[in-house]
Amino acid sequence: MNAPFPPSEVAASDATIASRPVLNLLIAAPRGFCAGVDRAIEIVERALERYGKPVYVRHEIVHNKYVVEGLKAKGAIFVEELDEVPDDAPVVFSAHGVPKAVPAEAKRRKLLYVDATCPLVSKVHRQAERQIEKGRHIIFIGHEGHPEVIGTMGQVEDGQMTLVETIEDVDKLPFDADEELAYLTQTTLSVDDTREVIEALEWRYPNIKGPRAEDICYATSNRQAAVKELAHDCDLVLVIGAPNSSNSLRLVEVSERLGTPAKLIQRAEEIDFAWLDGVTTLGLTAGASAPEILVREVVAALASYRPISEKTITAAEEKMVFKLPRQLTE
């Protein structure tokens, strides 16, 4: 991990900083937390208030180390599977969703559980159930091994859903053109890449059924649109997010697809100031699991190295709010 800035720069005077070229900083909006992440974090915090310490959380509640460590400090214990949860302890399921077998096991053990699955992910789960009821095999577009993919594929029986990631995967599908098929998608994918895969599916299977509205969530789409707004004016884009955060990785890809280099960082301490050599305009955004405090931390670190001229580039306004589970509000 790189130091926040070279040791020789730590004691840089205001005069030294002022002598360096101004860095034009374009900050994307919207950025950072989405409604589903806000809801998931509040669920853990409310569970701690209602049930006391500890509250167990199956998997990272969201993909952000800063958030997870903050909840640990408040009394949350993160585990991978339910068998790590004591019989008398409350447990929260992460925002990414879980296979049906997980709440079924919790009920069998009579565990007190709270489901923090993002409502937009739950919507995809219900769509999967309806397509299976109609006798269709589901082609699911997503990234293998991602918790959301595992959770969604776990809504149906083995063999009822096939995962594809690329156009090449579509070419390898074994189904006949006239078979009863439907497609669904992970909510945090690249809008552009997913459109290409859907087009390939619809070309090969003209009768395939898709969702009434796209499954990629509003927050993912809006954050990608914001990067598109600023990337063409930037020499480099920084994306604050975790390496296992799908939506954050997609923001890096969106910038690079437009020809602007991008770096994924989790904290300001990961910035290598050599990246700024020759950079006049820098873009900055944050994935949907990254809190605003980390954005300001990065801005402060940049301002400790070069003078900053800050401007916000707005692609959309977000007012979405999701209700909390009834068991935490009654």
Determine if residue 63 is labeled as part of a ligand binding site: yes
Distance of CA 285 to the CA centre of its chain: 13
Helix (H, G, I), strand (E, B) or coil at 36: helix
The strands making up 113-115's β-sheet, listed across from edge to edge, are 76-79, 55-58, 91-93, 113-115
Residue from 80, 148, 202, 270 carrying the catalytic annotation: 148
H/E element, 257: helix 246-257
Q: Residue 247 annotated as binding?
A: yes
Asked whether residue 234 is marked as a ligand-binding residue, the answer is no
Q: Burial-class residue 271 by CB neighbours within 10 Å (0-12, 13-18, 19+).
A: buried
Q: Is 96 annotated as a binding residue?
A: yes
- Answer positive or negative: Cα dihedral of 201, 183, 188, 233: positive
Is 8 known as a binding-site position? Answer: no
CA 158 – CA 24 distance, rounded (Å):
52
Q: Report whether 245 belongs to an annotated binding site.
A: yes
The reply, when asked if residue 190 is annotated as ligand binding, is: no
The yes-or-no answer on residue 80 being catalytic is: no
State the Cα–Cα distance between residues 30 and 312, nearest whole angstrom: 9
State whether residue 213 is helix, strand or coil: coil
Other residues' Cβ atoms within 10 Å of the Cβ of residue 154: 18
Residue type, 77: I
Give the Cα-Cα-Cα angle 169, 120, 254 (nearest 5 degrees): 55
> What does the chain come to in residues?
330
The type of residue at 250 is R
Q: Which residues are annotated as a binding site for [4Fe-4S] cluster?
A: 34, 118, 217
Q: Which residues are annotated as a binding site for dimethylallyl diphosphate?
A: 63, 96, 146, 245-247, 289
Q: Which residues are annotated as a binding site?
A: 34, 63, 96, 118, 146, 187, 217, 245-247, 289
The catalytic residue positions are 148
